[in-house]
Chain A
């Protein structure tokens, strides 16, 4: 289902609204419901749908059309608020000094810009738990690195264009790294391995290097629903 083809927050909200509607009314033969910037993709089990219908695609399509009709497009998104502490020290924010220089501003001004507003999780992709969020202040927006890094440490908070995101795992990557969070965006051992979910509203909070080093995951609950 395509809700548009340009990225704006309204279009993404519609995609997310439909995602939540499908989650709530999920059929047992739907395997996956995947929201993206302006679309929602439904993966279904052809074999199971065919036990009830002679054409799986047209049967699922009909259901989707009914769901599009039934979905409340004026409803508030059921967004969780997630607070993410970030240390913007230039030892962890590998690109923040360069960005400040390029933009003829200070690192603390960039930190203010990054923490002064909340961001919507538009979609998750690329890596397990990698949240694409936005949109950042125009002054903070920075194109991707021409030469991606071969390894960006897990927890690195990046900016790419008008988007911001967090690397859940050590990975190659081309986003401008402004800081690092002590939180684990992905932890296979947790009941819910992935911290951020599509639709979440994220607030970054600046912490010092000392707070980062001594951070206790056990005493911090990032999610308020």
Chain B
């Protein structure tokens, strides 16, 4: 009962909802870059929202299912093929034993997710199955590579032919280029022209972007002060002003503290949208209030709850 890595991709890692409660020790939460995609993949296979999944970048791994499995793909569309036949993103799929899953084409997005019904049999480290690449701990403690074998937690339904269930979660879910933010603690360190620039310019994602942070290219922003910040806590979505006047948005593998001014905080709802942007794509920022951000988050939770119960119901009729 397992899936094996036949050929490794650029960066394939096991991730879940993240590792909380250890940031005072310098251990970051990590977790899936696109949390919504992780939750959708898990909903489609009837898992708890934050169950561990395989996160892939393009070029992605080639995987082999050694037994039948109930799986789902979500997030980026990498033109998945199961034994050469196209498989869509955001559907529940049954694959028979000896299915080889390959990814042919970088169609859209940056991070793709694979979930398996019941999840993978992987021990938790500090309460999470997320891979922490810097600490070399959690799950495999490294990117997956050829020969790795991920055992399933639960028995899988037997099928002899691939079945793609006809219902799906909307595929354009949370795509877009407008990223909403609230002001960061040092927002007023920017001069007025830079305040304008934040909301009127577009910011191009550079190729120096990874799980730690997304760097943007823009006209340089300026501080109105010579004050320096003492290292303070940062989090996923914290936008820092670098000494060069460029900005970086910290992502899943961020350090727990940082000394650059924190000018913006991307709202939780829009972090997945940002995570799926690729190098050389542009985004714009829009400032909203904390109250609006909170309301958007609650609306998002309601929507995710609906998706989860709809999937549960559908799966029940098929799998019993």
Contacts and interface: CB of A to CB of B under 8 A. Distances in A.
Question: Do A and B truly interact?
Answer: yes
A197 B25 contact: yes
B232 A55 contact: no
A48 to B, nearest CB: 11
Contact of A188 (B135, B230, B298): B135
A5 B230 contact: yes
A56 B294 contact: yes
Interface string A46-85: 1100100001110000000000000000000000000000
Interface in B172-217: 185
B137 A19 contact: no
Interface string B2-46: 000000000000000000111111110100000000000000000
B141 interface: yes
A36 B233 CA distance: 7
Contacts of A32: 20-24, 29
Nearest to A131: B26
B135 A128 contact: yes
B135 A124 contact: no
B135 to A, nearest CB: 5
A38 B230 CA distance: 8
A124 B25 contact: yes
Interface residues of A, number: 39
B297 interface: yes
A128 B294 contact: no
B94 to A, nearest CB: 32
A186 B135 CA distance: 8
Contacts of A5: 227, 230
23 contacts: A31-B20, A31-B21, A34-B23, A35-B24, A36-B231, A36-B233, A39-B230, A43-B23, A46-B294, A46-B297, A56-B294, A125-B257, A127-B255, A128-B26, A128-B132, A128-B134, A129-B25, A188-B125, A193-B25, A193-B27, A193-B135, A193-B137, A194-B27
Interface of B: 20-27, 29, 125-126, 132, 134-137, 141, 185, 227, 230-233, 235, 255-258, 268, 290-291, 294, 297-298, 301
Shortest Cβ-Cβ A-B pairs, 10 listed: A125-B257, A41-B233, A188-B137, A34-B233, A194-B25, A32-B23, A124-B26, A31-B20, A37-B230, A36-B232
Interface of A: 2, 5-7, 19, 31-39, 41, 43, 46-47, 50, 55-57, 123-130, 132, 168-169, 186, 188, 193-194, 197-198
